[in-house]
C-alpha cells in the first residue's frame, strides 16, 4: 500500500523531525517524509534530513511583506512534492487562516503541555510554578487559534520533586519523540478519530468527568 507523503516544517533543532525520520525507517510505518522545509537557513533539522537523503528547502519569511505570500510559496513546494500531511515540528511561525484552512485536518503540531493547559510559551516553567503533578505533551490538528484544535494524542509525564524546567523539559521531549510518530501513524492509517469530546474541549469546554487521556502506544 502506498505510504502517506509527509512534509515537515521546522525552524530549528529538529529533534521531533528526527523522531519522525527514524519512525519512517520502519518499512511497516504507513508514512514517509518526502520534504523538510525551514524558515531558518541554518536550522539543524535541515542537516538531519540531508543525512537520510530527504529533500529540503529554505524559505526566508523575512523576504515577504505579506505573511500569506510566504505561505503560498510554502504551500507550492509542499504540493509540488505531493505532500498529503504536514507536520509542524518546532515551526516558529504563526500560520494564517488561509494556510490552516488549506491543510485543515491534514496538518499536525506538537505542543509541550497537556492542552488545553498551558497554551503558548514557557510551558514547563509555568507548570512548575503552578505546582501541577502531571505534565506532558499533545499532538493536535492545527487551527487558526494558536495551540488549539482537536487533540489526536497526549503523553502524560509526572512532575518529580525538585524538578527544574530543564529536567522536566528533557523528560517531556522524550515523550514527544514517542508520541509524534504514534499520532502520525494514527492519522496516516485513517484511525485518528476526533471525538466530539475532543472538539468540545478544544472549543474551550471543560472535559467531562469520564474523559480520559489517550496515550497511543506511548
Ligand X SMILES: NCC(=O)N[C@@H]1O[C@H](COP(=O)([O-])[O-])[C@@H](O)[C@H]1O
Residues identified as active-site:
111
**Binder to ligand X among 81, 128, 173, 214 (CB under 6 A)?**
173
Is residue 176 within the footprint of ligand X (CB under 6 A)?
Answer: yes
Q: Decide which of ligand X, ligand LMY7XDAE, none touches 13; Cβ closer than 5 to 8 Å per partner kind.
A: ligand X
**Binder to ligand X among 90, 149, 153, 216 (CB under 6 A)?**
90
Q: How far apart are CA 55 and CA 89, in angstroms?
A: 16
Residue 208: φ, ψ to 5° = -65, 155
Give yes or no for a contact between 40 and 195, defined as CB atoms under 8 angstroms apart. Answer: no
Shortest spacing between CB 153 and ligand X, in angstroms? 13
Q: What angle do CA 102, 12, 10 make, to 5 degrees?
A: 15
Look up cell 523575512; give the residue: 62
Q: How far apart are CA 208 and CA 127, in angstroms?
A: 22
**Residue 120 CB contacts under 8 Å (≥ 6 apart), including other chains:** 146, 147
Residue 33, CA atoms < 13 Å, CB-side half-sphere? 33
Is residue 136 within the footprint of ligand X (CB under 6 A)?
Answer: no
Helix axes 165-188, 15-24, angle to 10 degrees: 40
Q: Decide which of ligand X, ligand LMY7XDAE, none touches 138; Cβ closer than 5 to 8 Å per partner kind.
A: none
**Binder to ligand X among 6, 7, 9, 12 (CB under 6 A)?**
12
Is residue 127 within the footprint of ligand X (CB under 6 A)?
Answer: no
Q: Name the nearest CA neighbour of 95 among 166, 157, 36, 148.
A: 148
Shortest spacing between CB 67 and ligand X, in angstroms? 18
Q: What angle do CA 136, 140, 145 make, to 5 degrees?
A: 110
Site pattern 142..171 for ligand LMY7XDAE (x: CB under 6 A): x-x-xx------------------------
Site pattern 118..147 for ligand LMY7XDAE (x: CB under 6 A): ------------------------x-x-xx
Residues 43-102 that bind ligand LMY7XDAE (CB under 6 A): 88, 90-95, 100
Q: Which whole-number Å values give the CA distances from 65 to 31, 61, 95, in the listed order?
A: 34, 9, 14
Task: Name the residue nearer to ligand LMY7XDAE (CB basis): 30 or 88.
Answer: 88
* Site residues (vs ligand X, CB under 6 A): 12-16, 89-90, 110-112, 147, 173, 176
* Site residues (vs ligand LMY7XDAE, CB under 6 A): 88, 90-95, 100, 109, 142, 144, 146-147
Amino acid at each position: 500500500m502506498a505510504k502517506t507523503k509527509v512534509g515537515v516544517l521546522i525552524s530549528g533543532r529538529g529533534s521531533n523531525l528526527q523522531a519522525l525520520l527514524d519512525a519512517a525507517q520502519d518499512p511497516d510505518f504507513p508514512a514517509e517524509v518526502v520534504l523538510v522545509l525551514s524558515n531558518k537557513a541554518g536550522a539543524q533539522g535541515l542537516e538531519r534530513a540531508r543525512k537520510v537523503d530527504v529533500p529540503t528547502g529554505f524559505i526566508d519569511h523575512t523576504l515577504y511583506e505579506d505573511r500569506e505570500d510566504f505561505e503560498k510559496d510554502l504551500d507550492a513546494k509542499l504540493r509540488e512534492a505531493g505532500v498529503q500531511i504536514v507536520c509542524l515540528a518546532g515551526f516558529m511561525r504563526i500560520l494564517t487562516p488561509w494556510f490552516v484552512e488549506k491543510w485543515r485536518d491534514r496538518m499536525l503540531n506538537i505542543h509541550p503541555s497537556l492542552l488545553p493547559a498551558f497554551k503558548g510559551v514557557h510551558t514547563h516553567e509555568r507548570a512548575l510554578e503552578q505546582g501541577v503533578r502531571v505534565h506532558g505533551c499533545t499532538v493536535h490538528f492545527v487551527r487558526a487559534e494558536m495551540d488549539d484544535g482537536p487533540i489526536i494524542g497526549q503523553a502524560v509525564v509526572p512532575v518529580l520533586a525538585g524538578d527544574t524546567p530543564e529536567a522536566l523539559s528533557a523528560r517531556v521531549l522524550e515523550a514527544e519523540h514517542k508520541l509524534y510518530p504514534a499520532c502520525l501513524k494514527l492519522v496516516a492509517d485513517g484511525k485518528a478519530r476526533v471525538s466530539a469530546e475532543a472538539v468540545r474541549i478544544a472549543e474551550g469546554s471543560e472535559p467531562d468527568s469520564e474523559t480520559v487521556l489517550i496515550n497511543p502506544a506511548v
